Amino acid sequence: MRQVWIRRRGEPSVLEVRRVPSPSPSRGQVRVRVAYAGVNFADVMMRRGLYPDAPKLPAVAGYEVSGVIDAVGEGVDAALTGRPVVAMCNFGGYSEQVCVPAALAWPLPDGVDLRAAAALTVNYLTAWQMVRVMAPVAPGGTVLVQSAAGGVGQAVVQLCALAGVNVFGSASPAKHDELRAQGLSFVFDSRRRD
């Protein structure tokens, strides 16, 4: 199978496709035949050498994938084979196949687009943790979202809108009209200090 490796810190030119043996799922794991891998801020920061929890280079990036379970390890229901899923992996997602604990592979409802699913997991889990667990928002409250046009920012904006929260946001000026169209009460330039 193929994987995309980060050889050393740097720009996208440090990425390299390598062939490696296909992994086999261990007890409690599933193997996902990857259709799409999410590309997140953490992956970019890892490539640049600025992500504190990144594995030592060379390594394979990728926190989230979507695809189809093509094998299961001991102790996992064989009926999951063939199911489309979205899965979290602690790096390694830029692969044609990845093994993850079965609990970190969530079956997708019929008709869910695999491309969209791969782009949602990290952003929405991060946003959910922020606005539902760590600092729960309440209807009528006000939230300031830094980088409101980014992946996590967009997830926070949407979760806040569902909760009836007034949202202020920061972003570069080119993104202000889109944010206003999403209902933000106030949008300001993230690059200006005033």
Question: E strand or H helix at 162, and its extent?
Answer: helix 151-162
Q: What is the mean pLDDT of the chain?
A: 95
Hey, what are 27's tokens? 């007890």
At residue 158, the 3 state secondary structure works out as helix
Please give the pLDDT value at position 193. 79
Give residue 149's Cα distance to chain centre: 15
Question: Which domains occur in the chain, in start order?
Answer: 2-117 (3.90.180.10), 137-189 (3.40.50.720)
Its pTM stands at 0.86
Q: What is the pLDDT of residues 165-188, one digit of tens each?
A: 999 999 999 999 999 999 999 999
Non-local CB neighbours of 136 within 8 Å, separated by 6+ positions: none
Q: What is the pLDDT of residues 30-77, one digit of tens each?
A: 999 999 999 988 899 999 999 998 999 999 999 999 999 999 999 999
Please give the pLDDT value at position 90. 86
Q: Which of 115, 186, 130 is nearest to 163 (CA)?
A: 130
Hey, what are 86's tokens? 């979205």
pLDDT band of residue 191 (cuts 50, 70, 90) is confident
pLDDT band of residue 15 (cuts 50, 70, 90) is very high
Q: What is the pLDDT of residues 130-140, one digit of tens each?
A: 999 999 999 99
